[in-house]
Each structure stands twice: as C-alpha cells, then as structure tokens.
Amino acid sequence: MANDKSENDTATEVAYRAIRDRILSGEHAVGSHLSSATLSKSLALSRTPVREALRRLAAEGLVELIANRGAHVIGWTKKDAEEIFELRLLLECHACAEAARRIDSETIAELADLARQMAECARPGPNQDFKSLTQLNSQFHSAIIAASGNKRLSVLLTSVVEFSIQARTFEAYSQEDLARSMEHHHEMLQAFREGDGDWARSVMYGHLRAAYHVFQRAREKEPTS
C-alpha cells in the first residue's frame, strides 16, 4: 500500500508540473477546458493523478473547477495582476538583495549563461523563441531566489514567480521592451559580481515594474466581450 501511494504521489507531481508548464507557456490558453481524459492520454497517466494535479492547480489559482463543467484555465484580472506584482516587488526585490550578499561564483556563472541564452531567444528574427525565453526566464529568477539562502522566502516566492504574469506576456513585448528586459538581467549580474544588495534590489524593482506595464498595455488591447 505504501508503494502504491508513493507511485501515485510521483505521478501526481509529474502531472502537476506538466499541466502547470503548459498553462504558463500559453499552450493551454486562458479559458480553455482541461479535460482529465485528454490530459491523461497526452501524459500517459491514469486519471487519478491528473485529477489530483488539477485540484492542486485550482488551490494555487491557475485553474477553476466548476461543477458539471470540469476544469478551466483562469484568466488574470487587473486586481490579480496588481496583487501578484505587489507581492513580487516586496518579496523578490528582497530576495535579490539577499542573493547579492550571499551568491557564489558558480551561481553567477549559471545566471550569466541563462542571460546569454535569453538574449539569443529574444533577438529579432526567425530564431526568436518566446517559449524557450519563458522557461529560461523562470530558471533565472528561481536561481536568484535560491541564492538568497532563505528557504521560507523561497517557498513563498515560488508560488508567485512560477505563475508570473511576465511568463504570459513575452509575446506582447515590443523589441524595445525585450531589449530593456535583457539589459536588466545583465545589470543584475553586475550587481551580484559587486556584491551590492541595494543595486541588485533597485534593478529587480525596475525590472518588475517594467513587466507590469507591459502586461497592462497588453490587457488594454484585448477585445472586450
């Protein structure tokens, strides 16, 4: 029985991460129906872990479970956006400052490589890749949070950053917006190299504020029903 529970927990985690990644990347668009039968087939899992994963995503605010209608991807309201960004500004800027004081050369090298890859994905042309950019961006921010050395802060921020509105809006970025965002990454790296927490905090603050305004502009352009 213990082994069965362990295997189900593992399958639930696999389903959770896969469905969450699809939502954050835009593969499952806002408002789309998430059929447990279809998801089970595409993930090669039984329906039980998929249903558990959907319940977990509903508890975290990415999915809405409606009686007799199933699961649907939740959209962001203006209030949602404001709440998320307020939390990120409070928590992630602090994490960035703490990371600057604690970060080691290996993590800085990792962040530099991620920044280089993001710049390549953001570069205009046929190889511009927003999906990879989203994934790399998530890794970049997660590495900074981990480098803060504060496990409780990391737990609090993970649920906020992984549902980052920024992850849903890279396609709405103008080339100027993208260039500014990539430059922020490089400036954060310089602050880390100098061990300057105040500098790192201020760059992250500007980075998140810029992302918020891109999101708001994108929302204003959406057709109203």
Give the tens place of pLDDT for each residue, 43-93.
999 999 999 999 999 887 789 998 888 899 987 677 877 888 888 899 999
Place 158 in a pLDDT band, splitting at 50, 70 and 90.
Answer: confident
Amino acid residing at 54: L
Examine the fold and report which residue of 73, 99, 131 is the final residue of a domain before the chain moves on: 73
Q: Helix (H, G, I), strand (E, B), or coil: what is residue 39?
A: helix
State which of 15, 45, 73 marks the end of a domain.
Answer: 73
Q: How far apart are the first and last CA of the chain?
A: 51
Position with higher pLDDT, 24 vs 147: 147
Query: Is residue 127 domain-shared with residue 64, that is, in the same domain?
Result: no
Average pLDDT for the chain: 87
pLDDT tens for each residue of 122-156 = 999 999 998 899 889 989 999 999 999 998 888 88
Q: CA-CA distance, 219 to 81, in Å (whole number)?
A: 10
The CA-atom distances, in angstroms, between 131 and each of 5, 9, 43, 138, 147 are 34, 28, 20, 11, 25
Q: Tell me: pLDDT of 166 over 50.
A: no
Mark whether 82 and 163 lie in a shared domain: yes
CATH code of 101's domain: 1.20.120.530
Does one domain contain both 114 and 191?
yes
> 97 and 207: one domain?
yes
Task: Please give the DSSP secondary-structure letter assigned to residue 172.
Answer: G
Does residue 8 sit in the same domain as residue 64? yes
Q: Give me the amino acid identity at 41.
A: K
Count structural domains, the chain. Answer: 2
Residues whose CB is less than 8 angstroms from the CB of residue 220 and which lie 6 or more positions away in sequence, other chains included: none
Q: What is the mean pLDDT of residues 202-207?
A: 97
Please check whether residues 69 and 83 belong to one and the same domain.
Answer: no
Instruction: Tell me the DSSP string of 171-188.
Output: GG--HHHHHHHHHHHHHH
pLDDT of the residue at 225? 46
State residue 2's pLDDT score. Answer: 43
Between CA 23 and CA 43 the distance in angstroms is 14
User: What's the Cα-to-Cα distance from 147 to each of 56, 101, 110, 141, 181, rounded to whole Å?
Assistant: 27, 9, 11, 10, 21
Q: What is the CA radius of gyration of the chain?
A: 19
Q: Are residues 176 and 67 in the same domain?
A: no
Q: CA 155, CA 83: separation in Å to the nearest integer?
A: 17
Are residues 30 and 125 located together in one domain of the fold?
Answer: no
155 and 205 fall within a common domain = yes
Find the range with the poorest average confidence among 23-27, 129-133, 209-213.
23-27
164 and 83 fall within a common domain? yes
Round to whole Å and give the CA distance between 215 and 219: 6
Cβ pair 166, 137 in contact under 8 A: yes
Q: Which residue has the higher pLDDT, 1 or 126?
A: 126
DSSP structural state of residue 65: E
Q: Are residues 148 and 201 in the same domain?
A: yes
Give the separation between CA 14 and CA 6, rounded to whole angstroms: 12
Q: What is the extent of the structural domain holding 9? A: 2-73
Token pair of 203 as six digits: 């760059």
Residues 63 and 151 both lie in one domain: no
Domain boundary among 73, 93, 112: 73
pTM of the model: 0.75
Assign 71 to helix, strand or coil. strand
3-state secondary structure at position 215: helix
